[in-house]
Amino acid sequence: MKRTSHISELREIIAMERRRGRKIALIPTMGYLHRGHLALVEQAKQTGAFIVLSIFVNSLQFGPNEDYSSYPRDLERDAHLVEVAGVDALFHPTSEEMYPRPMVTYVEVGQLDTVLCGVKRPGHFRGVATVVSKLFHIVQPDLAFFGQKDYQQYLVIQRMVSDLNLPIEVCPVPIVREEDGLALSSRNVFLTSEQRQEAKVLFQSLNEAETCLQAGERSAREIEKQLRDRISRQCHGVIDYVEVRDAGDLSEVTIIERPVLIALAVKFGSTRLIDNKVVEVDRYV
Ligand code: PAF
């Protein structure tokens, strides 16, 4: 595996692979990798592309009171994991390499960034879209892989690529879960054992919501209410949001007739967990 923290060196590595006729796949991450990230690598490997995985904890997407400085980091462990997994090049730039001057240019994906996670995290998706856009310009990948746990992020990137005519195929990868259903996240390490136990209610309640839909419930508010009630009853987590929205554009839904995203964010102490499920109702008519 090649490894660099320099943009110029990465560009040389990629140019050589392109001359050999290889397609380039990019997997952007913030490190502290888990099986969810390795699933992105697995899916990328199936394309036969040269795989570049980036690790960069992007200050631009953290709010002033968020966990940028305490975000878990372990570059050597990550480097070992991705080498074993079959990544071809690891790019781990410093903040100075990515942001040599204060940024004055940003990418903003309107509409999609003001709902769900965008409400409590203003500027978050602007930070994500900007750094992903920079990574796209640095790597110029043919394909880019994103996990569906961050479903809203996936839609933001997909929309940015479409609006800006970027010649990149955005590939979603299904959520990877622990045995009890908790979605894998780098932030799970911050949970106490009691919070970790309780956090499984998130997946259970999403499953219950799907069961309600299967049984014919079509009111988005009713599904949200049932989800909220279950989470509040069964854990000490503080609900940030529980929402049913259109799975294609995150617009509001009242009566569920098209595929919907059932999304939630719950805070366990200072650890904020998100999870979601996309449900295609026409399967259950
Ligand atoms: O999902 C993440 O880890 C980050 O938001 C991303 C896409 C790497 C941008 O910093």
Catalytic residue among 6, 34, 37, 137: 37
Domains of the chain: 2-173 (3.40.50.620), 186-280 (3.30.1300.10)
Torsion-angle region of 108 (φ positive above 0: left; ψ -120 to 50: alpha; else: beta):
beta
Please report, rounded to a whole number, the percentage of residues in the chain having pLDDT higher than 90.
Answer: 98
124-139 and 151-163 helices, crossing angle to 10°? 60
Q: How many angstroms separate the first and last alpha carbons of the chain?
A: 50
| Residues 118-136, mean pLDDT to the nearest whole number | 98
pLDDT confidence of residue 190: 97
Protein residues with CB under 6 Å of any ligand 1 atom: 28-30, 58, 61, 128, 131-132, 150, 153
Give the position, in ligand 1's atom list, of the atom nearest the Cα of 29: 8
219 Cβ neighbours under 8 A, 6+ residues apart: 254, 255, 256
Confidence label for 281 from pLDDT (cuts 50, 70 and 90): confident
Give the position, in ligand 1's atom list, of the atom nearest the Cα of 132: 9
Q: Is the pLDDT of residue 285 over 80?
A: no
Residues 49-103: tens digit of each pLDDT: 999 999 999 999 999 999 999 999 999 999 999 999 999 999 999 999 999 999 9
How many residues can be counted in the chain?
Answer: 285
Residue among 26, 27, 29, 135 whose CB has most ligand 1 atoms within 8 A, to mutate: 29
Sheet bearing 238-246, strands edge to edge: 238-246, 260-268, 271-279
Residues 221-262: tens digit of each pLDDT: 999 999 999 999 999 999 999 999 999 999 999 999 999 999
User: Using CA positions, which residue lies closest to atom 2 of ligand 1?
Assistant: 29
Please report, rounded to a whole number, the percentage of residues in the chain having pLDDT higher than 70.
Answer: 99
pTM of the predicted structure, to 2 decimals: 0.97
Measure 156 CA to ligand 1 centroid, in angstroms. Answer: 12
Q: Are strands 24-29 and 2-4 parallel, antiparallel or unpaired?
A: unpaired
Give the position, in ligand 1's atom list, of the atom nearest the Cα of 135: 9
Over the chain, what is the mean pLDDT? 97
| Residues 208-224, mean pLDDT to the nearest whole number | 96
80 is catalytic: no
Sign of the dihedral defined by the CA atoms of residues 219, 220, 225, 227, in that order: positive
pLDDT confidence of residue 284: 61
Beta strand ranges found along the chain (DSSP E): 2-4, 24-29, 50-55, 89-91, 143-147, 169-173, 238-246, 260-268, 271-279
pLDDT confidence of residue 144: 99
Q: Is the pLDDT of residue 283 over 70?
A: no
Residues 190-206: tens digit of each pLDDT: 999 999 999 999 999 99
